[in-house]
Chain A
Amino acid sequence: MTITSPVPSAASTDPGVFLSVEDLRVHFPTDDGLVKSVDGLTFDLRRGEILGIVGESGSGKSVTAQAILGLHKGSKAKISGHIWLDGQDLVPASEDDMRAVRGSEIAMIFQDPLSSLHPFYTIGNQISEAYRVHNKVSGRDARKRTIEMLEKVGIPNAAARYSDYPHQFSGGMRQRAMIAMALICEPKLLIADEPTTALDVTVQAQILELIKELRNELNSAVILITHDLGVVAETCDHVVVMYGGQAVEKGPVADLFDVPEMPYTWGLLSSMPRMDRVRQTRLTPIPGSPPSLIQVPKGCVFNPRCRFSDRVEGNRCFTVHPDLLPTAPGHEVRCHIDPEERRQILLTEIRPNL
């Protein structure tokens, strides 16, 4: 496979950028071969912005989040590239350095709140512990702060629920408790990995509303990892679409939904049923299944499932790995098809069937 490492964009010198991921690669050696979970990912994030990372299972979105948090340190994973957080590179940082960063600078909300809360300790205990690790405060102050946080995330009767155990909370309340824990040190970067996937739509709406409110209040940067394009449309400012460990399209949220240009993004948009449309005859699935990350397809990662590879001359989809190239301000696409032709295909073949 030809490895084309995109030159780090000039944006990383932009003073507004808070988190800058440059050519991040996370590879896991296994008995079956090298698993390239993330392979050359680059993106920037500013304070107060919500970035959505979308993709199917195995596209590398969660591994990216774990790499930013330094959770692969001490494992066999091979990590290269840079993760600049406010000027500090987290890739070479030691485990001890990371421990100071985690919780206070970066916090994470996981998908399944029941398995990320300890069943033996009370909710209040677990949240205040996070606060006391990073701040020299008395137990009483930590308790007061925890109750404040629980109130802020909308837990009724917070003072009384402080000593409840996780099993006494409902799914939505546990996720709120996790958010309270993540936000108690007012992190500058919040990573939410599928925060609402296990929740009902009504609770999902409450949690997304809460994340947006807290973003406005603390001016944090947020990375929202999800497979639900509806959640992205509702919450995010920018989107990265990942496929096979790579970003295949990224741009402002309006561009991605109005003028998507990558065949995979088209596939995602047309394969989901739309609640706001009268029923079409059939859904248009993406044929096949996601690629193996051990034997990544040669050329474009998406070529085995792409309907449009015959639009490119000389079989380049199967031989040359396309670069992520700008097509409009802030909008980048990894595809060999000529940009003019892509827009034409979108108008004539994709849009009418959406």
Chain B
Amino acid sequence: MTTETAAVPASPAAPGAPLLEVTDVRKHFPGRSVGLLGRRSNPVKAVDGVSFTVHQGETIGLVGESGCGKSTTGRVVSKLIEPTSGSIRYEGRELAGLRPGQMRPLRREIQMIFQDPYSSLNPRHTIGTIVGSPFHIQRTKPEGGVKKAVQGLMERVGLNPEHYNRYPHEFSGGQRQRIGIARALALRPKLIVCDEPVSALDVSVQAQVVNLLEDLQSEFGLAYLFIAHDLSVVRHISDRVVVMYLGKVMETTDRDTLYESPMHPYTHALLSAVPIPDPTVESRRERILLTGDLPSPSNPPSGCVFHTRCPKYRTQLSETERERCRSEEPVLEEKRPGQSVYCHFAEARTDLIDGEADLPTTSGLRETRPRSAA
């Protein structure tokens, strides 16, 4: 069977069943040996109990600061690293614990796009070799030969197929990212884990690549796990968003709810920190500054992991309430339909993005905003 025929977007799996189901996944990296006796320090809990689902054709945004475990989650999902515990079910099959040989046939269906288009392409290989390598590794023979398939892919992602024999250094950053996308697309995957795919690109080029990813999604019915720290891009591209902090999920809900009435204090701080390209709006927004640095993931705080930096804990809670934050760890629970939050004292805020608390609904363009000059 060729990959071409396997590429039919419609999945044979039961309709409505998630494509990928991640349940309570943990990844703890062993600590360094300390001293002569080789005692190990505490393990680094990079990912500590993360659960989410991805449906066919859907985009899940995974956001958080650096060190929150979002990239590790992406790597665990694509099985580049083995989780310490937890389950990753792909179309009903358990991926955790599969040996590399057992995993290989499934690798066609889960692919990855990396952040840095300069280091993710082998400088000694031509574009033809790079984009064609998935066919060789998987020993599949596309119809019409590898070269034709590669040139078709290059054309699809907006590269000139005549550049088949060129080397990566002859391309710009945006074009290299297209090469990485063509390679990920070669075997017609169903899920692509995108780890910061547009962060290294200039805005005008970034928009080209975001549009390309969206076109490919509707054409091939792809699902994306979109890992990014840029909350504006995530709002544009995602259907649902997962916010992570210190290896745990803080809040997860659909896109518009997350941006218009987020409930977790960490989400509040993240959203308020993103500058908006409009000086009028910018001047009336509240900026919630987080104090201090990210705690060490090998020695996370007791109780709620966010309490050491939580603005709400610091300024709004009573001592008994604070005691609860320090001693009892919250669980991610559904506070409103479709909105799960990890916080004892979750409360929706609607004024973070444009400085006005006037957005009870999630629909309709807000075109009536006053402009200072026109």
> Which of A173, A235, A272 has a CB less than 8 Å from the CB of B232?
A272
Candidates B255, B275, B371; contact of A230 at CB < 8 Å: B275
Q: Is A214 an interface residue (CB 8 A)?
A: no
Chain A residues, CB < 8 A from B255:
279
Q: Is B204 a contact of A231 with CB atoms below 8 Å? A: no
Contact of A234 with B275 at beta-carbon distance under 8 Å, contacts A271-B206, A271-B207, A272-B232 already known: yes
Q: Is the pair A257, B293 in contact by a Cβ cutoff of 8 Å?
A: no
Contact A268 B204 (CB under 8 A): yes
**Interface size for chain A: under 10, 10 to 19, 20 to 34, or 35 or more residues?**
35 or more
Q: Do the beta carbons of B277 and A257 come within 8 Å of each other?
A: yes
Q: A234-B282, A279-B255 are in contact. Are A201 and B231 (CB under 8 A)?
A: yes
Q: Are A232 and B172 in contact (CB under 8 A)?
A: no
Is A231 in contact with B275, judged by CB distance below 8 angstroms?
Answer: yes
Which residues in B have their C-beta under 8 angstroms from that of A284? Answer: 207
Which listed residue (A56, A227, A233, A271) contacts B276, Cβ 8 A? Answer: A233
Chain B interface size range: 35 or more
Chain A residues within an 8 Å CB radius of B231: 201, 275
CB nearest neighbor in B for A58:
B202
Name the residue on A nearest B260 (C-beta). A278
Measured in the bound complex, the distance between the Cα atoms of B233 and A277 in whole Å is 12
Is there a chain B Cβ closer than 8 Å to A269's Cβ?
A: yes
In the complex, A267→B205 CA distance in Å? 11
- Chain B 123-152 near chain A by CB (<8 Å), digits 1 or 0: 000000000000000000000000000000
The residues in B between 48 and 90 inclusive whose CB is less than 8 angstroms from any CB of A are 65-66
Identity of the chain A residue whose Cβ is nearest the Cβ of B209 in the assembled complex: A285
A253 adjacent to chain B (CB < 8 Å):
yes
Given A56-B203, A258-B371, A259-B374: A275 in contact with B278 (beta carbons within 8 A): no
Q: Which of B273-305 contact A (CB under 8 A)?
A: 273-282, 287, 289-290, 292-294
Interface membership of B42, Cβ < 8 A: no
Q: Does A289 belong to the interface (CB within 8 Å)?
A: yes
Q: Does A86 have its Cβ within 8 Å of any Cβ on chain B?
A: no
- Which A residues between 195 and 248 are near B, CB-CB below 8 angstroms? 200-206, 208-209, 227-235
Query: What's the nearest-Cβ distance from chain A to residue B189, in Å?
Result: 23
Say whether A134 faces chain B, with CB atoms less than 8 Å apart. Answer: no
- Inter-chain contacts of B99 with A (CB < 8 A): none
Asked if residues B207 and A285 are in contact (CB atoms below 8 Å), the reply is yes
In the complex, what distance in Å separates the CA atom of A253 from the CA atom of B364? Answer: 28
Complex alpha-carbon distance, A227 and B204, angstroms = 11
- Please, which residues of chain B bring their CB within 8 A of the CB of A287? 208
Q: Contact check, A205 vs B278: say whether CB atoms are below 8 A apart.
A: no
- B277:A230 contact, CB within 8 angstroms: yes
Pair A56/B271 contact, Cβ less than 8 Å: no
A254 within 8 A of B: yes
**Known interface pairs A56-B203, A233-B275. Does A273 touch B236 (Cβ–Cβ under 8 Å)?**
yes
**B275–A277 contact, CB under 8 A?**
no
Measured CB to CB, the closest approach of chain B to A336, in angstroms, equals 21
Q: How far is the CA of A173 from the CA of B292 in the complex (A)?
A: 9
- List the interface of chain A (C-beta within 8 A of B): 56-57, 156, 170-173, 200-206, 208-209, 227-235, 253-255, 257-259, 267-269, 271-279, 282-287, 289-290, 347
- Inter-subunit contact A172/B293 (CB<8 Å): yes
- Do the beta carbons of A253 and B279 come within 8 Å of each other? yes
Residues of A within 8 A of B270 (CB): 201-202
The reply on B210 being an interface residue by CB < 8 A is yes
Give Cα distance in the complex from A172 to B294, angstroms. Answer: 10
Q: Which residue of B lies closest to A282 (CB)?
A: B211
- Chain A residue nearest to B204 in the complex (CB): A286
Shortest Cβ distance from residue B98 to the other chain A in the assembled complex, whole angstroms: 34
A and B contact pairs by CB, cutoff 8 A, 18 listed: A171-B66, A200-B65, A201-B65, A202-B270, A205-B272, A205-B273, A205-B289, A206-B289, A228-B275, A233-B275, A255-B373, A258-B280, A258-B371, A271-B207, A272-B206, A274-B277, A283-B211, A285-B205
Tell me the bound Cα distance from A206 to B309 in angstroms: 14
A204 nearest CB neighbor, chain B only: B273
B354 at the interface (CB under 8 A from A): yes
User: In the complex, which of the residues B65, B235, B237 contacts A275, with contact meaning CB atoms closer than 8 Å?
Assistant: B235
Which residues of chain B have C-beta atoms less than 8 A from A231's C-beta?
Answer: 275
- Evaluate contact between B280 and A283: CB separation under 8 angstroms: no
Do B276 and A170 touch across chains, with their CB atoms under 8 A apart? Answer: no
Given contacts A171-B66, A278-B256, 18 further A-B contacts (CB under 8 A): A57-B202, A201-B229, A205-B272, A206-B289, A206-B290, A208-B275, A230-B232, A230-B277, A254-B373, A258-B374, A267-B204, A271-B206, A272-B277, A273-B237, A275-B276, A285-B205, A285-B208, A289-B205
Q: Which of B174, B210, B259, B273 has the most CB of A within 10 A?
A: B273
- Would you call A273 and B232 a contact (CB within 8 A)? yes
Q: How far is the CA of A240 from the CA of B206 in the complex (A)?
A: 21
The verdict on B246 contacting chain A, using a C-beta distance below 8 Å, is no
**What is the bound-complex CA distance between A278 and B362, given in angstroms?**
8
Does the CB pair B276–A201 fall under 8 Å? Answer: no
Which residue from chain A places its CB closest to the CB of B238 in the assembled complex? A279
In the complex, are the beta carbons of A227 and B364 less than 8 A apart? no
Chain B nearest Cβ from A202, distance in angstroms: 5
Do A276 and B204 touch (CB < 8 A)? no
Complex CA gap A16/B362 in Å reads: 48
